[in-house]
A and B are shown apart, each in its own frame.
Chain A
Amino acid sequence: MIENYEKRVINVTWHGRGGQGAVTAAMILANAAYLDGYEGVTAAPFFGVERRGAPITATTRLSRVPIRSLSQTTKSDVIIVLDERLIQTVDVMAGLRPQGLLIVNSSRSPEAFCNGENLVVATSDANAIAREIGLVVAGTVLINTPMLGAFSRASRLVTMKSLERAIGDNFKKKAAVVNVQGARRTYEVTKIGQTWQP
């Protein structure tokens, strides 16, 4: 985990589809960050209604000091895309700061998402991992908790230890085990274009 970076708020925006668990992941991340000593953490869904399958966003904020801005996030330090096909229909990059971090659930390499723009890209094939370890409920492949592992690896803002505890707190024992496994495996296979500086 990176210590002592400047005392500002890190904004993380999650892009997913209703039902993919972006909101749950945003909240687990807030929990993990708090366990890692961030005094200020918030997480919220995009304020509104949610439909299964429709594009949705959620946000996590983390800071070494209590957070005082609860208005909707317009600028992001990190953007996480749970479904890479969203990139064709939603301007997922909107609001990403220069030298921001983009993390995509994809089997492709980071270079595939970086056309010379001023950003750092990380990719992780969370779909393949979730299928492999049986993180599938009622036919739906669950990639939200695996992508938390990708976040930990690419951003170095939260530790896997805290993430695993936060995942454990969110699920019943049996589900927690496989979700933690998903995060761990994804952490291992995440490909990073270059080292990201928060």
Chain B
Amino acid sequence: MVKVRIINGNEAAALGAKLSGVQVVAAYPITPQSKIPETLAKYVESGELKAEFIRVESEHSALTVCISASTVGARVFTATAANGLAYMHEQLHWAAGARLPIVMALANRGLGAPWTIFNDMQDSIAQRDTGWMQVYCRDNQEIIDSIIMGYKISEQIHVPMMVCFDGFVLSHTVMPVELPDQERVDAFLPAYKPHLQVDGPEPLNINPVMLAEPRADARGVACPSYMGFRMRLQKTLEGAEDVILQVGREFGDLFGRHYGYLLWEYRTDGADTILLTMGSLANEASLAADQLREKGYKAGVVALRVFRPFPAEALRKALSQVENLIVFDKNISYGYEGATCTETKAALFDSGLRPVITNFIVGLGGKSVSPADLQSAALAALQQKGRINGPQWLGVAV
């Protein structure tokens, strides 16, 4: 029998880590994700999870502990949000460059100043170029599933993954979640076999200073240059989509919930108007699309489930018939526009697709976004004549 529990996003993330059999957890409290390390600490204390919970004094140290533990072959987990993630920034680059399969839960929250504890995606979008994979969850079920799949994907290609979900909107809202059965998870995700074992008898110097040209290492083995290593990371991410899709399908075969897609699509058949977004806002957007359909507009929704690697090919396919593209970003690259808007435009350029694109910046710092808000924004965009330069700010007068 399927076991369903009514839980919030933080509990889903902690259960995902527990079911994945993580061996080391290091995390620092920050709203709205504090319940994740608190819950995992309880599991470790009660013996339900055989892992080491390492208490640290900062997020920078949390990720450093994860990097060290992963280097010596442990399956590791951390969680953070907002300024905590910003504080990890240097180590984010290190984890990806060192090719460590770390999975992190991120409860998306806006960055200060001015101070906010509430939801937007500025925190993870600002870490776009660190080399981590990023997936965005639509609901709490996707959080638990994405973490379990995350380890399988990361350990296959040796690239860390951020599993992002909206702070408060998902982290603090309970909803029904099917709990994957531990035995099946174990079959799906066997114990981590590190590609490199560091131990006493054979000491290693890992990630030393690399020169601009290839050279032999201490044992005389020819090694790539710094740029060569970096190119390998890029090539791996270019091929990561196939792995993500394959693992998503395998997960579906075992658990009945299929993730063999990079984009979540809703009523896109025959749609000439698409609302494009990420995360939990996709749910609101689907209601807005229903309302627009009732009014006679051929509207649908595309939500990016995976943001890095960027699903450019899938987007070109999904948007091939679209005349009006309305992009809702819970982030902004200051001085330009929302990140998903820029990236989508870039993806469409080579294909020659030229829909009218309108970008709305929404929900920063927890500003509530309702289906009605999205619908009126879409209607305003559809009534505009010609193209608008720059993003529109939804519901902000001053």
Q: Which A residues form the contact surface with B (CB < 8 A)?
A: 27, 30-31, 34, 39, 41-45, 47-49, 67-72, 74
Q: Which B residues are within 8 Å of any A CB, using their own CB?
A: 4, 6, 8, 117-119, 166, 168-170, 172-176, 280, 283-284, 286-287, 366, 368-371
Evaluate whether A68 and B169 lie within 8 angstroms (CB atoms) in the complex, with A34-B6, A41-B176, A74-B370 already known: no
Residues of B within 8 A of A42 (CB): 173-175
Contact B284 A70 (CB under 8 A): yes
Q: Indicate whether A69 sits within 8 Å of B173 (C-beta atoms), given known contacts A27-B6, A34-B6, A41-B6.
A: no
Query: Do A41 and B175 contact each other (CB < 8 Å), given the known contacts A34-B4, A69-B287, A71-B284?
Result: yes
Instruction: Please indicate the chain B residues that have their CB under 8 angstroms from the CB of A30 in the complex.
Output: 6, 174-175
Name the residue among A34, A39, A47, A72 with the largest chain B CB count within 10 angstroms: A47
A70-B282 Cα distance, complex, nearest whole Å: 10
CB pair B369–A71 under 8 Å, yes or no, is: yes
CB-CB under 8 A from B286, the residues of chain A are 68
Q: Which 8 A-B pairs have the closest CB atoms?
A: A47-B168, A44-B173, A68-B283, A72-B368, A71-B370, A71-B368, A42-B175, A31-B6
Q: What is the minimal beta-carbon distance from B108 to any residue of chain A, in angstroms?
A: 13
Contact B170 A70 (CB under 8 A): yes
State A41–B118 Cα separation when bound (angstroms).
23
Please give, as numbers and ranges, the residues of chain A lying within 8 Å of B173 by CB-CB distance: 42-44, 70
Which one of B4, B6, B170 has the greatest number of beta carbons of chain A within 10 Å?
A: B6
By beta carbon, the residue of chain B nearest A43 is B174
- 4 more A-B contacts (CB under 8 A) besides A43-B173, A47-B118, A68-B284? A43-B174, A47-B119, A47-B172, A70-B283
Are A49 and B117 interface neighbours, CB within 8 A? yes
CB distance from A135 to the nearest CB of B (A): 23
For B370, the closest partner residue in chain A by CB is: A71
- Contact B366–A47 (Cβ < 8 Å): yes
Report the nearest A residue to B170, measured CB to CB: A70
Given contacts A27-B6, A30-B6, A47-B118, contact A69 B284 (CB under 8 A): yes
- A48 CA to B115 CA, complexed, in Å: 13
A30 to B175, CA, bound (A): 8
CB distance from A24 to the nearest CB of B (A): 11
Residues of chain B contacted by A41 (CB below 8 angstroms)? 6, 174-176
18 contacts between A and B (CB under 8 A): A27-B174, A30-B174, A34-B4, A41-B174, A41-B175, A42-B175, A43-B6, A43-B174, A44-B174, A47-B168, A68-B283, A68-B287, A68-B371, A69-B284, A69-B371, A70-B166, A70-B173, A71-B284
Q: Within 8 Å CB of A68, what residues of B? A: 283-284, 286-287, 371
Smallest distance from the beta carbon of B116 to chain A beta carbons, Å? 11
Q: Do A70 and B172 form a contact, CB below 8 Å, given A31-B6, A34-B4, A34-B6? A: no
Q: B2 → chain A, closest Cβ, in Å?
A: 13
A71 to B117, CA, bound (A): 16
| Cα(A72)–Cα(B373), bound, Å | 13
Chain B residues near A72: list those with CB within 8 A. Answer: 368
Task: Give chain B nearest CB distance to A124 CB in angstroms.
Answer: 25
Q: How far is the CA of A68 from the CA of B119 in the complex (A)?
A: 18
How far, in angstroms, from A80 to B118 measured CA to CA in the complex? Answer: 26
Asked whether, in the complex, the Cβ of A67 is within 8 Å of the Cβ of B371, the reply is no
Q: CA separation between A109 and B20, bound complex, in Å?
A: 54
**A70→B6 contact, CB < 8 A:** no
Partner of B172, one of A31, A44, A69, A74: A44
**Min C-beta distance of A27 to chain B, whole Å:** 5
Question: Which residues of A sit under 8 angstroms from B169, Cβ to Cβ?
Answer: 47, 70-71
Interface centre among B117, B170, B175, B371 (most CB of A within 10 A): B175
CA of A45 to CA of B166 in the docked complex: distance in angstroms? 15
Contacts of B118 in A (CB 8 A): 47-48
Report how far A41 CA is from B366 CA in the complex, Å.
Answer: 22
Residue of A nearest to B366 (CB): A47
A47 to chain B, nearest CB (A): 4
- Tell me the minimal C-beta distance from A182 to chain B in angstroms: 21
Chain B residues contacting A45 (CB-CB under 8 Å) are 172
Residues of A within 8 A of B8 (CB): 44
Residues on A with C-beta less than 8 A from B174 are 27, 30, 41-44
Q: How far, in angstroms, from A68 to B286 measured CA to CA in the complex?
A: 8
Most buried by A among B170, B283, B286: B283
Interchain CA distance A121-B267 in the complex, whole Å: 41
